[in-house]
Amino acid sequence: MMTDMTCLRALGLVFGHAPASQVKALRTAALALTLPLVVVAQVSLAETALAQTGPDKATIRSVISGQIAAFLSGDNEQAYSFAAPAIKGTFRSVDQFIGMIKRQYLPVYAPRNYAFGEIRALQSDVAQQVFVTGPKGKNWIALYTLQQQPDGAWKISGCYIRPDDGRGA
């Protein structure tokens, strides 16, 4: 069974720089397994399920907007509260989390503006595309993943960002 991250990579939705060994392993797996049609079918079924039973777009978008608003207002505690447990496990303090965001995700930390793109369900996660204009005016595409928590709340489980070169996501 493919993991959420493998699905994202197979769909071309992960934009970070992966080590060469991971890229080679992914290519080998994709060729060996020949699953593109299965992945497309899975995504289509997941999108249908999202439309029928999943969170509405407004719920997912309000989580992302809430975190961006917290970044912009300097409310670091609030921004950290939107992170999923796995993120909090890696960045055990607000200061560590904000330091990482400032170093690696400045466009979403201090955007001039942003707009939402497509939303997709992937197994247990939801992926939301966000078009961002960073603080220096450069355009970026961010792909947020969110996971539903046992209490029903949605938390941000990842953000993958790349420059928007005009090709789209």
Number of C-beta neighbours around residue 60 at 10 A: 21
Longest alpha-carbon distance in the chain = 48
Question: pLDDT tens digit string along 36-50?
Answer: 333 333 444 444 444
Does position 81 have pLDDT exceeding 60, yes or no? yes
CB-based contact 143:119 (threshold 8 Å): no
For domain 4-163, give its CATH number from 3.40.50.720, 3.90.226.10, 3.10.450.50, 3.30.160.20. 3.10.450.50
Question: pLDDT tens digit string along 87-120?
Answer: 999 999 999 999 999 999 999 999 999 999 999 9
Does position 149 have pLDDT exceeding 90, yes or no? yes
